[in-house]
Structure 1
């Protein structure tokens, strides 16, 4: 079918401009008589709204279809011009060499451009643009290079229109319609770019999330396990601390009981010391009495000695009296009897004095023994007193030491109580950490 705009396009023979103008008027009249309708795509409400915003109507689609021969005639020049600008960028050239070839891409671009002017904008048209965007994203073509290359493509279209369309009205109409088409093309591709970027970010987010989830799970499980172990250790430590506290309490009780017994022992020792002192005093008194008895025995001995001397003298006098009585004879017999009796009395006195002397000696011997015994008792009492005082000092030291130990034990008990409270606090905190780890694990599982 012959294109209605064929007479508007410059031919190699350059037809008359007046013919082109009259033909343009007829073409313009045919399009203007057609009521412009909004372009709608089934199932694509949002794209339909985009078409409405850029004012791409069914008349525009018809005009694009009529422009296809014009584009097809200059397609080689358009693609060559497009790729000439692309190859001038080293980064884009590197992408082309890596993933395809220039000739292959030129053929693909020609097919794509002719499809743009096919007059069919439907779901298949949209799907192709989305596919192009995915390919561009896959090869690493950034949107800025796409837009730059697209601008070159738009410039090529405009040059073709300016070169081949003489009528200003149709030229302007074609430029506006082509701009709408290129705008739609860019919108579709860039939106697909955005979707791909969003999808890529979601994939990266999922990867990071899963890695984070795994790490959080491992961390929270480790933390929970550590918290449970710590909590168990704290409970065991609390139990041990309670046992230590009870042992300290028993030690305090034992120390207090020992202190009480030591105090009682000190009191008994004090009483014993007093008794030893009393014995010592009484021993001194006995020693003094024995001394007095010894003095009395000495006096008695002196008296005995005197009496013994008197008895000896009486006996001597009796003997003399007997001798004198014998000289006197019969007259002296009575005197002799008296002398005999005095002699007997002297003998008896002498015997009595001898007995008393023996008793005195025995008393002296016994007194000496008593004195020695009293001296020994005194020494023992003195030693006992010294030892009692030393023992008392020991008891006082024991009491002082036990009091210090009891005070220290009480301080330790208070510190143990504080430690137990601290450990309980740690246990409570550990339980909270375990609960937090469990919540963290739960949250990570919900990510």
Structure 2
């Protein structure tokens, strides 16, 4: 089949490459000429494991192309996926839908025949009717344009696998037995035939799916971090407690690791956006637990600052601190709402000399936080450091030699805010280690 993907950022570029991998002819469209040029050259304009190779393979065969023309996209296919960004509005927790409505408004006037527009962008519930009205009013095809909701559930650094082998496929339509359903089932035939659970539902339920899923995942992470606070006061072992809870099949072990908390472009944004929309719907009391989820997550970052004061004193001016990590999690160069950078910036504001290192995210970090110091090598980053903070759990950091590092640092103090280092080895090498448990 032929499909287009409107918006070629993280979500769109990944989806376009994966649709080509499924055997379709794909045209990716984005208004950013620089981004389109990079993609057309066979590369992604961001780091995602395996994506460069996937894009290169399919651009080489011609099954994946990119354009800046809405008119070309409309003429290319009858199935159009929209994957533009929906960040939070400046000064608000609500979603900014400008890119979504702009993209739909630009595409619609070129739709002269039957077409399906499947939206993948995360939105507040109630967006679909507004978008459908705009599209049908602007499109020459009118009501022959079917609007569907197809939320994504991607994990950064696992995005290809999550697209080609998802846990579930959600398709939302205005009416039951939509002709658009059969068309999208054909697009996703290989995924459906592999046994993937496919849920066909209404617009509102499909719109809620992504925000609700991320809010639940955020709550799970904050729950174990709240238990870490209780364990800290009671003398209990939160790691053992997490293991006990994780063996309950109703809970599961994934995400049950205490640490600095969550960040990134999805969980924090969708948690806040979900709360904001619930308040607008006069259901604010129902999401009180989600407000506390957010509060716990913010406290974890402050806890790192508090431990730093305990180790280095109340006055951090001139103190040399090394931060291992800039990305919000390993396997990506994404620094959106990164706990590591939030802590690094706070320590800098308190007068500390902060050096940040990360395997992939330094270029992005430099752009957003030019006031911090940076080092490509995690060992060199610790030169004369009085304290090392382990804030993003890249595997590379777990293999560093604490004996060798002790020769470079002056303080021999480590805060493992991710709980993935073997602190017994560090203690045996003469380090004082702290954790957030």
Same fold (TM over 0.5): no
Higher helix share: 1
* More RCO (CA 8 Å, sep 6+): 1
TM-score (normalised: structure 1)? 0.19
